[in-house]
Amino acid sequence: MKHPQRRRVGRRLAAFAAGLGLLGAAGFANPAFARSRGGQSAETLTPIQHIVVIFQENVSFDHYFATYPYAANTDGTTFEPAKDHRGTPTVNGLGTLVEGEPSGVLLTANPNTYSGSRANPFRLSHSQASTCDQDHNYGAEQLAFDFGLMDNFPDTVGSGSCGGFDYGHGNAIVMGYFDGNTVTGVWNYAQHYAISDNSFGTTFGPSTPGALNLIAGSTYGAKIITGGSPKVVATNGSGIGTLVGDLDPAGDPCSGGTTIGMTGTNIGDLLNAKGVSWGWFEGGFDLQTTNPNGTTGCNRSSPATPANGGPMQDYIPHHEPFQYYASTQNLNHTRPSVPAAMYGTSADTGANHQYDINDLFAAMQAGNMPAVTFIKAPGWGDGHAGYSDPLLEQTFLVNTINTIEKSKFWMNTAIIINYDDSDGWYDHQMNPIVNSSALTNSNQAQYGDNLTGTGKCGNGAPLLTDDNGNPIQGRCGYGPRLVFMVLSPYAKQNYVDHTLTDQSSIIRFIEDNWGLPRIGNGSYDAIAGPIANMFDFADRENAEPLILDPATGD
């Protein structure tokens, strides 16, 4: 494999784009790489005319890349990076901090919660792909970080109670990680494209906060519609507060329990104002389809991982962030009002940019892919421990990416793979505190700040405030370190980026690429790090698609 060519013009353009990520687009000439397309403005700052965000579930960086690029090769697989890709750079991973290493840092925890009084990170084999879901609540994750010592995971977020899928580790299963024997596909993508080892969740917490941070850079603006919950915190006089847990969107027929709506602006609003086509495509969103097992409506389901013990719901309401905002929601899951060739355009008033995953492939077959495309897998394929796993996820990722890479859109596309949260899985890297919080809660251990003391994250004075200058509590950030990858003809090849980024760096790149304003009202997009260093816009080094086997990842 050849190494990235650092042409001088490439360095200049990458630095230019990185500068825009820090300074904004004002005052810079727009080279207008793409012009009007399908009646929608597609003028872009970079050669990227299509951004595809595949937003997966519940994986810390170490959980998938702890020993990258070195795999044990003991599971009957053929992944041999040291032999096949001698130029592959290492990452900020665990190094020698693995099971059986006497020199490794030993992580202490309550011996009553699992077998033994200490737990080092350990490798999960290919046959152990199906695992328990771990605790990944806002306050619990902070307790696991233990003032930055990163040594309290089994006691606070570890969960081995799912019918033997802890493989004898009990709550210490949370220390497990996979290597190229199991996450073969994503390791192959990393070696051919660009990956970051310094990207974090925008804040702590589970799926819904992560999804809201992806599209709005903020979990502030939540208003409880039905019921009551400690998951909406620090409410102001009008009942608006910060969401720190999972609650369903109000009005979605598939929602249950306490539901909320969100006020404020998201990236969809900005794209609409500029006339840029976009869409959120989620598995199971079409309630009129009947699955092979006869399920339909909100009960559409598919075979899931063994730890789940049965089929898994395809559509998960709290994974669909645009459903929380009145301006972008499609509460009744209305089918598109235009042909597939126009999906994602403003003319599709029926779907309002919210679609089923199958609609994306129908659009592509009709010669259409929105300028900005968000992809959410059906439950079985999103990687979430407990009902999905790395092998099922690989099938979804590879089939989807193969389809995009084989299409006419590939030459001007950037695919970003990111995750909503860490699931609580161990990661050794302490997060930088870029936004403080001082939150106490009736359920402090789960929904309060515990990072640097009870009710404290940093100095407690938030940097980010609403548009009226009021501090917003409950947004301790950054959160845990997550996987962040860029696949594109313009992605640097076999490259590891160390730029500090977070989930909202994605919307910042979208904003800069199409000349959109910042979201405001305390959104993290105002301080997000740029992802431009993962590209070489002067050269399509990866123009030839990397087509993988969805079953093996080879």
pLDDT digits (tens, 9 = 90+) for 92-107: 998 744 444 333 333 4
Distance of CA 296 to the CA centre of its chain: 27
| Predicted local distance difference test score (pLDDT) of residue 22 | 35
Q: Give the number of domains in the chain.
A: 1
Taking the C-alpha atoms of residue 17 and residue 46, their distance in angstroms, rounded to an integer, is 8
Burial of 219 (0-12, 13-18, 19+ CB in 10 A): buried
The predicted structure's pLDDT at residue 511: 98
Contact (Cβ atoms closer than 8 angstroms) between residue 46 and residue 535: yes
Instruction: Report the percentage of the chain scoring pLDDT > 90.
Output: 78
Please report whether residue 185 resides in a domain.
yes
How many residues belong to the chain?
Answer: 554
The parent domain of residue 383 ranges over 7-23+30-554
Report yes or no on 81 lying in a domain. Answer: yes
Q: Does residue 133 contact residue 110 with C-beta atoms inside 8 Å?
A: no
Q: Is residue 69 part of a domain?
A: yes
What span, in angstroms and rounded, lies between the C-alpha atoms of 151 and 370? 44
CATH number of the domain where residue 527 is located = 3.40.720.10
pLDDT < 70 positions in the chain: 1-42, 77-86, 96-118
Residue 408 domain-assigned (yes or no)? yes
Phi (first) and psi of residue 497, to 5 degrees: -95, 140
Residue 1 lies in a domain: no
Residue 320 contacts by C-beta under 8 Å, 6 or more apart in sequence?
211, 249, 252, 280, 282, 285, 354, 376
- Rounded to an integer, what distance in angstroms lies between the CA atom of residue 300 and that of residue 288? 10
Q: 150 with 326: CB under 8 angstroms?
A: no
User: Are the beta carbons of 86 and 450 closer than 8 angstroms?
Assistant: no
Mean confidence (pLDDT) of the chain: 88
Indicate the pTM of the whole model: 0.91
The reply to whether 125 falls in a domain is yes
The alpha-helical segments, DSSP class H, found in 357-497 are 357-365, 390-405, 444-447
Strands 312-313 and 301-302: antiparallel
Going by C-alpha positions, the residue among 229, 204, 65, 56 that lies closest to residue 136 is 204
Q: Would 2 be classed as within a structural domain?
A: no
Q: ω before 387 within 30° of 0 (cis)?
A: no
* Rama region for 133: left / alpha / beta (φ>0; ψ in -120 to 50; rest): beta
